[in-house]
Amino acid sequence: MVDISAPRAVVRAPNLRLWVPLCWLTLVGIAAVFAPWIAPHDPLAQDLMLGRLPPAWIAGSEPGYWLGTDDLGRDVLSRLIYGARIALIVAATAALLAGLVGSGLGLLAGFFGGWWDKCISRLVEIWMAFPPVLFAVLLVAVLGTGLGSVIAAIALIDWTRFVRVVRAETLVQARMDYIDSAVIGGASKLSVLRHEVLPNVLPAIIALLSLEMGIAVIVEAILSFVNLSLSSDAPTWGGMIAEGRASIYFAWWVLTFPLLTLFLTVLSFSQLGEGLKRHFDPVQT
Amino acid sequence: MLLRSIISRLIAVAITLFGVAVVVFTLIRVAPGNPIAMMLPPGATAADIARLEALYGFDKSLPEQFVIWLKAVAQGDFGTSIIMRQPVAELVLERLPATLELALMALLLAVALGGLGAVVGARFRGRSPELGVDLGVGVGLSVPDFLWGLLLILLFGVLWPVLQISGRVDPRLAVDLSTNFYIIEGLLRGQWRLVQDVLAHMLMPALALSLPLAAMIAQVLKQSLKAELHLDYTQLARVRGLSETRVIVSEALRNAALPTLTLIGVQFTFLIGGTVIVERLFAYEGLGNMAIEAVINRDLPLIQGIVLLFALLFIVINLAVDLTYGLLNPRLRHG
């Protein structure tokens, strides 16, 4: 006897790939928005008397410092919560900017073809010849440090990712019959692009935005790690990791907690992106 | 036909190289800070500045400056490092071997780990080992080298301190070699202690770099292996009495390898790009670490030289991959 109930159960199961990442990212989002109300301490307040306090469950800890303190006696949990603000602001704006520029160029290249495609593809090829991290570091050196430069640098590097995916998707859509029928119906090329092609490419762009936000969080952390993002005092996850790396033999928690937070956030963005891709296009898998 | 495709490919490479030069030149020129002022010691007179400006052609128009710069670069003159006061070309070539050895070691590890994952996954397809491989692949693909490096430092540097977490070689060890290829030359000369120490330093950064690529290799190779295992020739091998593992390793692997080889070629450049931050993380004395040092010190000529070298490396590797792929795949050769 063949059991036919099993596959149905798999289909009906809640999509963990979407929900688990969403829960974590919501948590990070809440921390970012309500940081002043949630954080138990001022993220910048130093108290050398309270330096290198271990987390609450280890002997020698102080009440109220749940995840311990760093070398300068700053509360690790509070810095993590405020760090979520910077991480999410950078992730959202950089991904959006890269998505706007990249998707626009990808649509043009895929839909109009010819010289549009040749020029844009060549530009992407030139851009791809630079190692991303080195390029980011170089751009920040040129643009100067600060939140705006970090966002600009990430967007300037990662727009190519959107071009490649959106161009390929647009090429597929442009060959479909409904495009021909819209053209025969008298619609202008630009209006076909906006009203017919774009809605069909949009799911791919949304999935890519999620992936890109994960990448932006990492690049911001890397730039903070090498002290090229915000001022070294600002509570960034990457900056915390750099401090933790320096005092790894004396206070493992200073590295471990920001690392864990970053790990979960990046994993969530990328799993969410993959989940969205499958959600929109179940045939592909 | 083959010749024509090679020529058109070379033209594309030339255009890309030119584009890279334009981008780097523009970035360096719009960077804040006068490069001439940075070359001179403090207290230099206006006449000194004017003399140097004329020497480097800064008094000319931007396109003319670009031509002067491009000519110098084409002849291997990348200028002088502001901080170290040495020719950039010399500094960069001195560090290149360390980065190349690290990248090659990472590639080796990625192929070994990814290949093992693929074979195990294909051998036990549909059972729990394959699920384990898939889970590992999922995590390996989503977590970048930077985070793997930090996790490894925590694991093997602190929790179970068995590996070195910074540097390339123990400074107490006298390095008596004529090149900076410590492993390759050390092996050739039989200096086992040196090689062992360098490997102990290199293992963690190389592993961090290799894990994302290993995940990709495991995914793609497992897929192609599983496809091969349905074909007639593997059935025949089973009928001949070969064990399933033998069928996979000595029959299917060779036929399934091409997509993975292409993947490795394309991804190798990303792995090299990853060395920048991983070297920094492990204080490994390679090009990437030097690049970040240069940015922090605002040593623009040095940054420029390193960026150009990395870009050139990327372009050459991609070209080599394209050409070998053309040779390996007869359909493309005649197409």
CA gap A137, B149 in Å, rounded: 19
Q: Average pLDDT in the A203-211 region?
A: 91
The angle, 0 to 180 degrees and rounded to 10, between the axes of the packed helices B300-328 and B287-296 is 150
User: Which residue in A35, A30, A27, A94 sits closest to A268, CA to CA?
Assistant: A27
Dihedral sign, Cα of residue A176, residue A182, residue A185, residue A186 = negative
**pTM (2 decimals)?**
0.87
Do the chains contact at A133 and B141, CB–CB below 8 Å?
no
CA atoms within 13 A on the CB side of A145: 15
Three-state DSSP state, A69: strand
What is the C-alpha radius of gyration for chain A, rounded to an integer number of angstroms?
A: 23
Lowest-pLDDT range of A13-17, B45-49, B103-107: A13-17
Q: What is the pLDDT of residue A70?
A: 86
A126-159 burial code (b ≥16 CB/10 A, e <16)? bbbbbbbbbbbbbbbbbbebebebbbbbbbbbbb
**CATH architecture assignment, domain A16-280:** Orthogonal Bundle (1.10)
CA gap A170, A162 in Å, rounded: 12
Do the chains contact at A130 and B307, CB–CB below 8 Å?
yes
| Residue of higher predicted confidence among B205 and B76 | B205
Which one of B151, B303, B315 has the shortest CB-CB distance to A141? B303
Scan for tokens 């991290």, then name that residue.
A133
Q: What is the pLDDT of residue A89?
A: 94
SS (H, E, C) B142-162: HCCHHHHHHHHHHHHHHHCCC
Q: What is the pLDDT of residue A10?
A: 45
- Chain A residues with CB-CB distance to B165 below 8 A: 248
Q: What is the pLDDT of residue B103?
A: 95
Which one of A130, A215, A222 has the shortest CB-CB distance to B311? A130
Q: What is the pLDDT of residue B330?
A: 59
Distance from CA of B329 to the nearest CA of A (A): 23
Q: How many CB atoms lie within 10 A of CB B161?
A: 11
Mean pLDDT of chain B: 85
Which one of A140, A252, A263 has the shortest CB-CB distance to B147? A263
Chain A interface test: which of B13, B24, B142 (most A C-beta within 10 Å): B142
CA gap B213, B172 in Å, rounded: 34
- Which two structure tokens, joined as six digits, stand for A44? 């910048």
Highest-confidence range of A76-85, A166-175, B260-269, by mean pLDDT?
A76-85
Q: Average pLDDT in the A220-242 region?
A: 86
Do the chains contact at B154 and A227, CB–CB below 8 Å?
no
CA gap B33, B45 in Å, rounded: 17
pLDDT tens per residue, range A15-61: 777 888 999 999 999 999 998 999 888 888 888 888 788 887 888 77
Domains of chain B: 88-334 (1.10.3720.10)
- Chain B residues with CB-CB distance to A264 below 8 A: none
Distance from CA of B165 to the nearest CA of A (A): 10
pLDDT tens per residue, range A138-197: 888 888 888 999 999 999 999 999 999 999 999 888 888 887 788 788 778 888 888 888
Distance from CA of A191 to the nearest CA of B (A): 33
CA gap B34, A256 in Å, rounded: 42
DSSP lists the bridge partners of residue B303 as none
pLDDT cut 90: percent of chain A above it: 42
Burial class (CB in 10 A: 0-12, 13-18, 19+), B138: middle
User: Which residue in B299, B288, B268 sits closest to B95, CA to CA?
Assistant: B288
pLDDT tens per residue, range A57-73: 888 777 788 888 888 88
Do the Cβ atoms of A202 and A99 come closer than 8 Å? no
Q: What is the pLDDT of residue B333?
A: 53
Q: Residue B252: pLDDT above 50?
A: yes
Q: What is the DSSP string of A107-133?
A: HHHHHH-HHHHHHHHHHHHHHHTS-HH
Contact residues, chain A to chain B, C-beta under 8 Å = 122-123, 125-135, 137-142, 144, 214-215, 218, 221-222, 225-228, 241, 245, 248-249, 252, 255-256, 259, 262-263, 266-267, 270-271, 274
Q: How many CB atoms lie within 10 A of CB A166?
A: 28
Do the chains contact at B19 and A262, CB–CB below 8 Å?
no
Name the closest residue on chain A to residue B145, using Cα atoms: A218
Q: Average pLDDT in the B28-41 region?
A: 68
Q: What is the pLDDT of residue B180?
A: 84
Q: Residue B317: pLDDT above 70?
A: yes
| φ/ψ of residue B87, rounded to 5 | -60, 135
- Chain A residues with CB-CB distance to B272 below 8 A: 131
Name the closest residue on chain B to residue A140, using Cα atoms: B295
Q: Average pLDDT in the B144-157 region?
A: 92
Q: What is the pLDDT of residue B298?
A: 80
- Which two structure tokens, joined as six digits, stand for A46? 């130093």
Residue A196 CA from chain centroid, whole number: 28
Do the chains contact at A227 and B150, CB–CB below 8 Å?
no
Mean pLDDT of chain A: 86
Q: What is the pLDDT of residue B115?
A: 94
pLDDT tens per residue, range B172-221: 777 777 788 888 888 888 888 888 888 889 999 999 999 999 999 999 99
Do the chains contact at B30 and A142, CB–CB below 8 Å?
yes
- Chain A residues with CB-CB distance to B303 below 8 A: 138, 141
- Chain A residues with CB-CB distance to B20 below 8 A: 126, 129-130
Q: What is the pLDDT of residue B41?
A: 67
CA atoms within 13 A on the CB side of A117: 10
Q: What is the pLDDT of residue A6?
A: 46
Q: What is the pLDDT of residue B234?
A: 87
CA gap A104, B302 in Å, rounded: 35
Do the chains contact at B151 and A267, CB–CB below 8 Å?
no
Do the Cβ atoms of A124 and A208 come closer than 8 Å? no
Residue B158 one-letter amino acid: V
| φ/ψ of residue A75, rounded to 5 | -70, 125
pLDDT tens per residue, range A269-280: 988 988 888 887
- Chain B residues with CB-CB distance to A207 below 8 A: none
Q: Average pLDDT in the A71-86 region?
A: 91
